[in-house]
Structure 1
Amino acid sequence: MYKAVITDLDGTLLNSKHEISDYSKKIIKKIIDKGIKFIIATGRHHKDAMCFKEQLGADSFLISANGSVVHDYKNNPVINNTIPENYAEYFLNLDLEEEIMQNVYTFDKWYVNVDVPEVNEFHKESGFAPNVVELRKIRKDNISKFAYICRDSRVLDELEAKLKKDKDIADKIDITASLDVCLEIMGKGVSKGKAISQILEKEGISLEETIAFGDGLNDKEMLELVGKGLIMGNASEKLKEALPNNEVIGTSDEDSEAKYLEKIFL
């Protein structure tokens, strides 16, 4: 029997309205009451994701910013991986196509170069909103993650190829496309998978005793590592192609994670 459940949020536990359904809340509460560890692992900022941990009553760790930041049971930070200042400065001064929305996470703040109302819809539950600023002027010593969002995935594909072609950048920075329309930058070696490995070791739970759910390429490492890694039906095709042997379940709008958990635990 599995002792821990790891879940992504957007496109996985959250439906297309960016909410946890009442059904999912009920099933997860029952699982937590059985003593199963329930851990959120998200690309969101911890101040954004904390509201979902509270909604679930999840008395466990919270992994945010793709593993850059981890909070413990009492919501105290135990990991805070930042991007080295010289690389942070490189990305803050990077020339980008006009249609790209640039996001910067520091430990306390979320900064953007332009306000995009539809992006804010993702964060209505938490009320955590970005600050629109001139990004080149912000501090460079406390940045957890950069995220580039663009409706045209080809623009981000070109940006990703350009960054990976620079050997210095590729050797020192981790680059992942969490979605086709979102490219994310973290410090080298930072991932949800690494954070999960560190947490489970502290908890005395093996990776084989863990089940995980995800939908984006930023979930790839954790879905590979755990005993059972489930891919959502609405997941990125790139993720499905990267993990052809992983089981694909239904969509987030069908409460497929909760249904799967109900079947195996309850």
Structure 2
Amino acid sequence: MANFQALFLDIDGTILQPDDTMQESTKTAVKLMKEKGLEIFLATGRPLHEIADIGEILKINSFIGYNGALAIYDGQDIVKSPMDPNLVDLYIKIAAEKNNELVLYTSSHNLLSNPDSEVTKQFCKKFHLRSNKQYTEDEKANILGITVMNLNEEDIHLYEGFPEIHLSQVNIEGFRHSYDVISDKVNKGMAISTVLKRLNIDAKNAIAFGDGMNDKEMLSVVGEGFAMGNAHEKLFAYAKHTTTSVSDSGIYNGLKTLGLKEE
């Protein structure tokens, strides 16, 4: 391969298939990249305290979580950007008025605005959210990310009516009523730029794979950005490359086009 030094991988729809399994080709691709000396990060909207098992399987211990609000390299925090507590207050109010449900993520647990709702229970089951508590106002300064659930398209503007904030639809079948809250200043792309600067790696020597609209900044900042074949239809415009789907060796096949070869 060329002088690639870093690889950033989304999880749901990129590493994990719809049934939450991981293809052997994905494990092989990650192993080969590690052997070639690349720094590898899992880059996800998920809370980091819920993905340790995926890191262990792939032997990855560097992460970008909460859609870029927290980045960890070999156990050291590189980025930590909590959300504005005033924005959290407003979202809690809007959700109550519109009967939406929120998952609010901290560095150690997940806070649920309505733990008893079926939508919340299904979301937590799908994304393996186990460390859950009822949201209380005293936690508002600790929030690193938010997902809005049970949201109708006509109400999206209520959450986007604030400077430098937009929503990103969850690209998982059955959960398209769910949207991650993304900041223009706190996202996967911004976190990756900070990580690359800290590691003294030129962006042209970085690779990223993703499938959701929360990956658009990530795919845009690296030299080689890949949209999975199963990606959200609007994501392809932000990717330099398109690869096969998560269920058809998408990561392996994408890296192969860049010169991945098994010894």
Match of 2:35 among 27, 33, 36: 33
- Do residues 256 (structure 1) and 250 (structure 2) align? yes
* Residue 83 (structure 1) aligned with residue 77 (structure 2): no
RMSD (Å) for aligned C-alpha atoms = 2.2
**1:106: which partner in 2?**
106
Equivalent residue letter for 1:102: L
Contact 1:42–1:49 (CA<8 Å) still a contact in 2?
no
Q: Which residue matches 1:140?
A: 140
Mapped to 1, the partners of 2:247 and 2:53 lie a distance apart of 20
AA of the residue aligned to 1:49 = I
Q: Does 1:265 align with 2:260?
A: yes
Residue type of the alignment partner of 1:226: V
Separation of aligned partners in 2, 1:148 and 1:205:
35
Aligned twin of 1:236: 232
1:93/1:130 CA distance change after superposition, 3 Å: farther
Does residue 1:11 correspond to 2:13, yes or no? yes
Aligned counterpart, 1:177: 169
- Deviation string, structure 1 residues 213-239 (Cα, Å, up to 9, x no partner): 111111001111111111111111122
2:189 is paired with a residue of what secondary structure? helix
* Residues 123-155 of structure 1 deviation map (CA, whole Å, 9 limit, x = unaligned): 44xxx415252x3545211111110123xx7x0
Q: Residues 137 and 85 (structure 1 numbering): CA distance in 2 closer, same or farther, change over 3 Å? A: closer
**Which aligned pairs between 1:50-89 and structure 2 lie closer than 5 A?**
50-59=52-61, 61-73=62-74, 75-89=75-89
Read off the aligned partner of 1:261 and give its amino acid letter: L
Determine if contact 2:228/2:242 at 8 Å carries over to the other structure.
Answer: yes
TM-score (norm 1): 0.84
Q: Aligned partners of 1:27 and 1:177: how far apart in 2?
A: 28
In structure 2, relative to structure 1, the CA distance for the partners of 1:187 and 1:230 (3 Å cut) is closer
Alignment of 1:215-230 (within 5 A): 215-230=211-226
CA distance in 2, matches of 1:64, 1:131: 17
5+ long unaligned stretches in structure 2? none
Partner of 1:118: 122
For 2:201, what is the secondary structure of its paired residue? coil
- Counterpart secondary structure, 1:170: coil
Q: Is the 8 A contact 1:103 1:147 kept in 2?
A: yes
Once the 2 structures are TM-superposed, how far is the Cα of residue 19 of structure 1 from its aligned partner?
2.6
Q: CA deviation at 1:37?
A: 1.5
Distance of aligned partners of 1:138 and 1:92 in 2 relative to their CA distance in 1, 3 Å threshold = farther
TM-score normalised by length of structure 2: 0.85
Question: Are the aligned partners of 2:49 and 2:107 in contact in 1 as well (CA < 8 Å)?
Answer: no
Report the Cα offset of residue 14 of structure 1.
1.0
Q: Which amino acid aligns with 1:62?
A: F
Shift in CA distance, 117/22, structure 1 to aligned 2, threshold 3 Å: farther
Give the 4+ runs in structure 1 shifted more than 6 A. Answer: none
